[in-house]
Amino acid sequence: MPIENAPPPTLSAALRRVWPDLWPSLRVGLIAGVVTALITLFIPNRYTSTARILPGDPASGGLGSLAMMAATAGISLPSADGPDAAYVDILESRSIREELLKTRFRFHERSWRFGSEQLQDETLYAYLDKANMDRAVLALKEHISITRDIKTRLLTLSVETTSPELSQAAAQRLVELLSAFAVDKARTRGSEKAAFADDRLKEARTDLDKTQALFQRFMEVNRNYAMSADPAVKLEGARLEAEYHLRQQLISTLAVNREQALLEAKNDMPILNVLDPGNLPIDKSGPARTVIVIMVFLLTLAGGLFLRDRERVRRFLAFS
């Protein structure tokens, strides 16, 4: 009689066959997942506040002067990445980070997932709880992210902490520090030129007063020196008159240069278009508790299966 082909095993039948061997590893994985889920409850939520800045037009905002401005503060900037790239280096500079760490914030914070909110009033340096300022500056890199879109030149900075209020306040403070550095504290080429022209104008006016006083005293004694028969008197009078007119022309030139330098100083002032000063985050940005639990479960399950069949795996590896 012909032998009929046996029907293929169903999924339920296959599971019943491997279940006795699979259940121990599965049970260990479930236990590890539950324990991990309980542990993650004691990890406080993290919240991210994002601020966006669009630098002004380099032609009208004078962004090219940022490299010089940063150099005066001891910050080295790249030259081939665009003038607006200076903002990234300024925000990542030691001076800006220290100012942020020294700022005092008032915020609410939970110590764990279901803990009650506690009001805190402390500096960011105290919040990070580091031994010294060097370690605090390094730790701050884990909480601050700065990116720049090359095409749109949009600057995005994000601050992540365990408090929504602290994240927002720190992001807004960073924007304020950048604006203060770029507008108030930095000395542009035009401002230096205007200050020099102003000082030189004051000196020229002082010299003019001295020259005018000498010429006036000479005129009181020699009113018609041009008609004098003494060549020395005529020569001295001509010299004093020429010097007097020269001082007048110099003051006029310096006054024009000073006004031009003041205009350049205003044109060199960087423009910061703050599109978003920093939002108050509502949803957490971390930790991803579900992903952590699933990864621990799968890794524990895979490890259990490997330990159970390690001899078979070893023979397979040795054979191949």
Cα–Cα distance between 170 and 177 in angstroms, integer? 10
Q: What angle do CA 259, 265, 270 make, to 5 degrees?
A: 155
Mean pLDDT for the chain overall: 79
Reply yes or no on whether the pLDDT at 166 is more than 90. Answer: yes
CA gap 270, 58 in Å, rounded: 8
Query: Would you say residue 79 has pLDDT above 90?
Result: no
pLDDT (0 to 100) of residue 84: 65
For residue 144, what pLDDT is reported?
94
Please check whether residue 188 is in contact with residue 65, taking contact to mean a CB–CB distance below 8 angstroms: yes
Q: Which residue has the higher pLDDT, 307 or 287?
A: 287
CA angle 292, 295, 299 (to 5 degrees): 140
Residue entry with tokens 């000498």: 214
For residues 303-317, average pLDDT? 66
pLDDT tier for residue 265 given thresholds of 50, 70 and 90: low
Higher pLDDT, 228 or 147: 147
Distance CA 58, CA 154 (A): 14
pLDDT of residue 258: 81
The pLDDT, as a whole number, for residue 5 is: 55
Residue 115 has pLDDT above 50, yes or no: yes
Q: Other C-beta atoms within 10 Å of 14: how many?
A: 11
- Which pLDDT band holds residue 58 (cuts at 50, 70, 90)? very low
Q: Tell me the DSSP string of 279-316.
A: ----S--B--HHHHHHHHHHHHHHHHHHHHTHHHHHHH
Could you count the other beta carbons within 10 Å of the beta carbon of residue 159? 27
Q: Could you tell me the pLDDT band of residue 44, with boundaries at 50, 70 and 90?
A: confident
- What average pLDDT does range 49-72 have in this prediction? 60
Average pLDDT over residues 287-304: 87
pLDDT value of residue 62: 43
Strands in 82-235 per DSSP E: 104-110, 117-123, 144-148, 155-161
Model pTM score: 0.63
Give the model's confidence band at 68: pLDDT under 50 very low, under 70 low, under 90 confident, else very high.
very low
Least confident segment among 31-40, 73-82, 110-119: 73-82
pLDDT-derived band at 227 (thresholds 50, 70, 90) equals confident
Backbone angles phi, psi at 23, to 5 degrees: -60, -45
Helix/strand/coil for 2: coil
pLDDT of residue 301: 80
